[in-house]
Structure 1
Amino acid sequence: MASALSDSRVSAEHIPVKLVIAGPFGVGKTTIVSALSEIKPLNTEEVLTQAGTLVDDLTGVSDKTTTTTAIDFGRLTLPGAVLYLFGAPGQTRFQVLWDELVRGALGVLVLADTRRIDESFAVLDLVENAGIRYAVAVNHFPDSPDYPLESVRKALDLDPRTPLMVCDARDPASARASLIALVEHVRELVLS
Structure 2
Amino acid sequence: MPYAPSSDAARAGRAGAPPEELKIIVAGGFGVGKTTMIATVSEIEPLTTEERLTIASSGIDNLEGLAHKATTTVAMDFGRITFDDPFSLILFLFGTPGQERFWFLWDDLGHGALGVVVLVDTRRLEDSFAAVGWCEQRHLPFVVAVNEFDNAFRYTPDEVRQALGLAPCIPVVTCDVRQSASAMNVLITLVGHSLELSRTPNPGALT
TM-score, normalisation: structure 2: 0.87
Secondary structure in 1 aligned to 2:18? coil
Secondary structure in 2 aligned to 1:27? coil
Deviations 1:134-158 (A, max 9, x none): 0010001011111111111100111
Question: Is residue 86 of structure 1 aligned with residue 94 of structure 2?
Answer: yes
Q: d(CA) in 1 for partners of 2:178 and 2:58?
A: 25
- The counterpart of 1:27, out of the listed 27, 32, 54, is 32
Structure 1 segments, 4+ long, off by >6 Å, are: none
Question: Is residue 16 of structure 1 aligned with residue 21 of structure 2?
Answer: yes
> Which deviates the most, 35-44 or 126-135?
126-135
Q: d(CA) in 2 for partners of 1:130 and 1:99?
A: 9
Secondary structure in 2 aligned to 1:97? helix
Secondary structure in 2 aligned to 1:54? coil
Q: d(CA) in 1 for partners of 2:29 and 2:58?
A: 15
- The counterpart of 1:190, out of the listed 193, 198, 202, is 198
**Which residue of the partner structure matches residue 68 of structure 1?**
73
**Which residue of the partner structure matches residue 46 of structure 1?**
51
Q: Residues 1-192 of structure 1: matches in 2 within 5 Å?
A: 7=8, 9=11, 12-79=17-84, 80-192=88-200
Give the drift of 1:98.
Answer: 1.1
The code of the aligned residue for 1:37 comes to: S
| Uncovered stretches (5+) of structure 1, i.e. residues with no partner | 1-6
TM-score, normalisation: structure 1: 0.93
The code of the aligned residue for 2:95 comes to: G
The code of the aligned residue for 1:166 comes to: T
Q: d(CA) in 1 for partners of 2:122 and 2:156?
A: 11
Q: d(CA) in 2 for partners of 1:116 and 1:189?
A: 29
Give the drift of 1:53.
Answer: 2.8
Q: d(CA) in 2 for partners of 1:165 and 1:144?
A: 16
| Uncovered stretches (5+) of structure 2, i.e. residues with no partner | 1-7, 201-207
